[in-house]
Amino acid sequence: MRPTEKGNVSKPMTNESPDMSRRKVLIGGAILAAGMSLPRTAVAALSIQSKTQSHSAIKKGESMSHHLDSPIARQDVRLDITDLYVFRGQVGTAFVINVCHSLGKPAVPGYHPEGMYEFKVDLNGDAVEEVTYRLTFDARDANGKQRYSVRRIRGAEAVDPHAAGTVIAQGTTDETVTEPSGVQVWAGHAGDPFWIEPDVLHAVGHAFEDGTKVDLADWDPSKAKNLFAGQTVYAIVLELPDSELLAGAGDKKIGVWAVATLATDAGGWRSINRIGLPMIPPLFAQYNEDLGNRLNAGRPADDFANYGDALAKKMAAVVAAYGTAEDPNAYGEKIAHRLFPNMLPYTVGTEASLGFVEWNGRTLTDNAPNVMFSTAANTPIQLGIGKESVTSKPRKTFPYVPLAV
């Protein structure tokens, strides 16, 4: 096993916790995000601003952090979860996360051998996981392959990073694993199905930091472009039959989030990334690294108490600027309650859709930026591009993610 990177991650803003804990992007000399973070060396080279800055302090085109989830995750993109998807697959519910974005130019691609990647599922609406599906990877071999194991941890132990659980699948990257139970797993190099327009993203971050309308006065929609066109990620795809996922749970409504954690020298685990709903860091933490760090730590059950008031006020200020609600504060609070606990809601067995009518899982082609930006601002915010801007399209069959091209 190659030398570990334990100890190279700076201490997060929160204490270590068994609740483990998403997308920065490079545009010209700037870091933007759809969730990806860059390594420390890349950040230094790009002169990222490390403190909160107002619109008046940052000019378009300067180096800055945009969809900045967390400077901690930026130090190793293998642990930076860019997106979470949950949808109906061919035999059950498909869970997908993407990590290690090509824009981060990882020194060592793939999955961190000293990390854990987990899908966490709330089965009873208390915003605490009743089941965890944990993937751990060996170091890359001479051919760049990594062996992995998938463990299921149920009940009270689902919150425990040290719980052994039960091995339900084992495999090697870039190869499909199908177990007799119906569980399917795939991990490997894939195309990025996400899209974002950098000028719109930039303007949205300023609006929610400064409490203003989204300023797109200088933006030409006819020149809209997808910052992630042609980029790649390392995906983890886990498909679970309903009987395996629900295992006697009475309700088919679940809440899902994913976490990436890194082993510490003290024998514990440190939160690096946590993701449920899409686009929360791009909306609220592009210019607030402290908030980005804290959003990636902790657990969903504590989200509203920790962040609800602050995010409600940010949304209220933007809504007030637009004048689209009689009571902007009430609107902000109502949407904050939709955002927190930060879990992706899904009804098992149904077609997923993250749209304006409902948030029910998320497919690989849902327009998450349009939906989340417009909902938070209570006014239409369009990117000018859609799924047609993705270079490699999602597949109809398992493992669903686009081919890396």
Q: Model confidence over 369-385: pLDDT tens digits?
A: 999 999 999 999 999 99
Nearest to 290 by CA among 47, 48, 40, 51: 51
Q: According to DSSP H, which parts of 188-287 are helical? A: 198-210, 242-246, 280-284
Reported confidence tier of residue 71, pLDDT bands at 50, 70, 90: low
The H helix count followed by the E strand count for the chain is 10, 16
Condensed to tens digits (0 to 9), the pLDDT of residues 96-112 reads 999 999 998 999 999 99
Nearest Cα to Cα of residue 50 among 381, 289, 249, 282: 289
Q: Is the pLDDT of residue 44 over 90?
A: no
Range of the domain at 101: 25-389
Give the confidence band of 17 by pLDDT, cuts at 50, 70, 90. very low
- Quick check: is 248 in a domain? yes
State the CB neighbour count (10 A cutoff) for residue 385. 21
Retrieve residue 362's tokens: 């998320």
Report the interhelical angle of 309-322 vs 328-339 (nearest 10°): 130
Q: 10 lies in a domain?
A: no
Rounded CA-CA distance 256/270 in Å is 20
Least confident of 164-178, 237-251, 310-324: 237-251
Asked if the structure places residue 401 within a domain, the reply is no
Work out the number of other CB atoms within 10 angstroms of the CB of residue 181: 12
Answer whether 86's CB lies under 8 Å from 94's CB.
Answer: yes
- pLDDT at residue 61 in the model: 32
Cis peptide bond prior to 399, omega within 30° of 0: yes
Burial of 40: CB neighbours in 10 Å, binned 0-12, 13-18, 19+: middle
Judge if the upstream peptide bond of residue 18 is cis by omega within 30 degrees of 0: no
272 pLDDT band, cuts 50/70/90, is very high
Count: domains in the chain: 1
Instruction: Provide the 8-state DSSP code for 126.
Output: S
Residue with tokens 């392959």: 145
Q: Is the dihedral of CA 237, 243, 247, 252 positive or negative?
A: positive
Residue 140: inside a domain, yes or no?
A: yes
pLDDT band at 72 (very low <50, low <70, confident <90, very high): low
Q: What is the DSSP letter of 14?
A: S
- For 115, the token pair is 């990390």
State pLDDT tens for residues 301-312.
Answer: 999 999 999 999
3-state secondary structure 11-59: CCCCCCCCCCCCCCEEECCEEECCCCCCCHHHHHHCCCCCCCCCHHHCC
| Nearest residue to 201 via CA among 29, 370, 378, 387 | 370
At which residue do the structure tokens 């000019």 appear? 59
Report yes or no on 115 lying in a domain.
yes
How far is CA 16 from its chain centroid? 20
Closest CA to 281 of 84, 58, 96: 84
Q: How far is CA 117 from the centre of its chain?
A: 12
Query: Which residue from 108, 143, 118 is spatially nearest to 236, judged by alpha carbons?
Result: 118
pLDDT bin (cut points 50, 70, 90) of residue 75 is confident
- 172: part of which helix (H) or strand (E)? strand 166-172
Handedness of CA 270, 273, 67, 75 (dihedral sign): positive
Question: Is residue 16's pLDDT more than 50?
Answer: no
In a domain, 266, yes or no: yes
- Copy the structure tokens of residue 161: 């990073």
Per-residue pLDDT tens over the stretch 217-241 = 999 999 999 999 999 999 999 999 9
Which neighbouring-strand residues pair with 345? 255
CA dist 267 and 362 (Å) reads 35
Residue at 97 is within a domain:
yes
Place of tokens 């098992």: 348
Give the span between the Cα atoms of 383 and 197, in whole angstroms. Answer: 6
Residue 395 falls within a domain, yes or no? no
| Cα–Cα distance, 155 to 70 (Å, whole number) | 30
